[in-house]
Amino acid sequence: MKNIPELLAPAGDLEKLDTALHFGADAVYLGGEKFSLRAAAGNFSFKDLARAREVTRKYAKKLYLTLNAYLHQKDISAFRNFLKELMPLDMDAYIVSDPGALALIRDIDPDRPLHLSTQTNTTNAAAANFWREMGIHRINLARELSLDEIREIRTASPLELEVFIHGAMCVAYSGRCLLSAALTGRSANQGACTHPCRWKYALVEETRPDEYLPLEEDAGGTYIMNSRDLCLIDHIPELVSAGVNSLKIEGRMKSRYYLAVVTSVYRHALDTFLSSPQSYRCDPLWKKELEKVSHRPYGTGFLFSPENQGIQPQNSNYIRTHEFIGVLLENPDGQILVQVRNRFFPGDTLENVSPRMQRTAFHAASLRRHDGTALEVAQPNDLVLMDLPPSARPGDLLRREKPPAST
């Protein structure tokens, strides 16, 4: 096949980096402690960035660093110094939004490949080619584009094109929102968004200041700014045939479990299509898997219909059917330990989540510490020895179906 796109996954910390690679990402994007648009994510110290570079090189994977905050004048000196510190790490690319940041990188590190963030809202080929002249190698296209528009830009521009395929959407234009700054003083454009678009709102009439009036017939409030989550698992063939070079998963602030499931699903779907495009069908199992991570109702954003472009009016709640139980680690003796994240008991039904869509249900038998002491319950942060399925490997995760909520 002429176009073989990369699968690009997020990493909020070193553990999530390992998970993204274990479950099939071709490339990973992450942020340092400065100048990234996810200030509340785990983010990477300089030491962690160096470690991430070592790991991705070891596995021949790409590593992209987000430097996509919009700089204020007071940031310029620190940004210059940070760029100089970063040069020895030799990142595969920096992701930028601010033209000023782009110019500073070109001055200090002129040979570094640059990717343009969706924050720059590139919506046409003329803009793409402008950015190419400015030294951009790849553009993460605006989320407002339809599939036909992506095809047209592909035809008219030689730049690499990157498109979001899964994750949270923002009601602001390509994520460039002022609402958080206006209501809380924390700027989304500098990585400190408080997500006020997901709060509950009601209408107040001037002469009745203590009376809150729902804008819809819902006692919980109105959700006019609450977007659906993006899910394009049905449309891998169209995106590949449109010439998209990178399929991007959103979620540097998502859990390790979320990252594992979503990455493994899209890895398997992409590989299945590339191996046999003519016979490809979207497996219903992939959709079922994506329903097992925390999400709001799914939609296709702006890719097709101009109507209902991602607004979720019913509520602002996330759907959570499963919970992350633990991650499998190998100790120096070669034994596989469970690093516990949520409490579980002997006899509980668990499921081992492995790459290549391997899912193995089993009953937890006896639990014991590394010294052989029996445990009546596994608590968060415990390191536990237990009988695991034969297919279990270090890096796999364990999950459990959540019990139905009591009424």
CATH code at position 78: 3.20.20.70
In angstroms, what CA-CA distances link 91 with 49, 64, 98, 352?
9, 6, 19, 34
Cα–chain center distance at 250: 3
Burial class (CB in 10 A: 0-12, 13-18, 19+), 58: exposed
Question: 224 pLDDT band (50/70/90 cuts)?
Answer: low
Q: Residue 225: pLDDT above 70? A: no
Kindly state the average pLDDT of the residues 65-89: 95
- Do 249 and 388 belong to one domain? no
Domain assignment present for 202 = no
Q: How high is the pLDDT of residue 138?
A: 98
Fill in the DSSP letter of residue 295: B
Place of tokens 């989320």: 143
In angstroms, what CA-CA distances link 276 with 239, 286, 296, 356?
16, 17, 32, 16
Neighbours of 264 (CB within 10 A): 25
Kindly state the average pLDDT of the residues 13-34: 96
Q: Residue 351: pLDDT above 50? A: yes
| 17/225: higher pLDDT | 17
| 273/39: higher pLDDT | 273
Place of tokens 């449309």: 235
- List, for residues 308-336, the tens digit of each pLDDT value: 555 555 555 778 999 999 999 998 888 99
- Do 65 and 151 belong to one domain? yes
Strand 114-116 versus strand 138-140 pairing type: parallel
- Do 249 and 351 belong to one domain? no
Kindly state the average pLDDT of the residues 373-377: 94
Q: How high is the pLDDT of residue 173?
A: 60
Domain assignment present for 51 = yes
Asked if residue 343 lies in contact with residue 377, where contact means CB atoms within 8 angstroms, the answer is: yes
Q: How high is the pLDDT of residue 209?
A: 78
- How big is the CA angle at 34 (ends 29 and 40), to the nearest 5 degrees? 75
Range with the lowest mean pLDDT among 64-68, 83-87, 297-301? Answer: 297-301
- Do 334 and 377 belong to one domain? yes
Last residue of a domain, one of 299, 314, 337: 299
- Got the DSSP string for 70-86? PPPGGGHHHHHHHHHHH
Q: Residue 373: pLDDT above 60? A: yes
Give the rounded percent of residues in the chain with a pLDDT score beyond 70.
Answer: 87
Q: How high is the pLDDT of residue 183?
A: 73
Neighbours of 252 (CB within 10 A): 25
Neighbours of 401 (CB within 10 A): 13
Mapping DSSP to helix (H, G, I), strand (E, B) and coil, where does residue 182 land? helix
- Do 61 and 131 belong to one domain? yes
The number of folded domains in the chain is 2
Q: Residue 81: pLDDT above 50? A: yes
Q: How high is the pLDDT of residue 204?
A: 79
- Do 259 and 120 belong to one domain? yes
Q: How high is the pLDDT of residue 406?
A: 53
In angstroms, what CA-CA distances link 234 with 4, 26, 265, 293, 342?
17, 20, 11, 17, 32
Q: Residue 8: pLDDT above 80? A: yes
Asked if residue 140 lies in contact with residue 162, where contact means CB atoms within 8 angstroms, the answer is: yes
Spell out a b/e string for 283-298, using b for 16 or more CB atoms within 10 Å of the CB, else e: eeebeebbebbbbbbb
Q: Residue 37: pLDDT above 70? A: no
Domain assignment present for 308 = no
The parent domain of residue 328 ranges over 322-401
- Do 12 and 120 belong to one domain? yes
**Torsion (CA) 179, 181, 184, 185 in degrees, nearest 10:** -170
Domain assignment present for 192 = no
- Do 74 and 41 belong to one domain? yes
Q: How high is the pLDDT of residue 193?
A: 77
Asked if residue 189 lies in contact with residue 119, where contact means CB atoms within 8 angstroms, the answer is: yes
- Do 49 and 99 belong to one domain? yes
- Do 101 and 235 belong to one domain? yes
**Element of type H or E holding 362:** strand 359-363
- pLDDT, mean over the chain: 89
Q: How high is the pLDDT of residue 217?
A: 44
- Do 349 and 392 belong to one domain? yes
Fill in the DSSP letter of residue 88: G
Domain assignment present for 312 = no
Domain assignment present for 407 = no
**Element of type H or E holding 131:** helix 125-133
Q: Residue 20: pLDDT above 90? A: yes
Last residue of a domain, one of 264, 299, 334: 299
Give the rounded percent of residues in the chain with a pLDDT score beyond 90.
Answer: 71
- List, for residues 140-196, the tens digit of each pLDDT value: 999 889 999 999 999 999 999 999 999 988 766 666 676 776 678 777 666 677 777
Q: Residue 399: pLDDT above 90? A: yes
Domain assignment present for 186 = no
Q: How high is the pLDDT of residue 184?
A: 81
Domain assignment present for 342 = yes
Q: Which of 335, 305, 328, 336 is nearest to 398 (CA)?
A: 328
CATH code of residue 379: 2.40.30.10
Q: Residue 19: pLDDT above 60? A: yes
- Do 290 and 380 belong to one domain? no
R_g of the chain, CA atoms, integer Å: 22
Residue 73 has phi, psi (to 5 degrees) of -60, -35
Q: Residue 218: pLDDT above 80? A: no
Burial class (CB in 10 A: 0-12, 13-18, 19+), 88: exposed
Q: How high is the pLDDT of residue 407?
A: 45
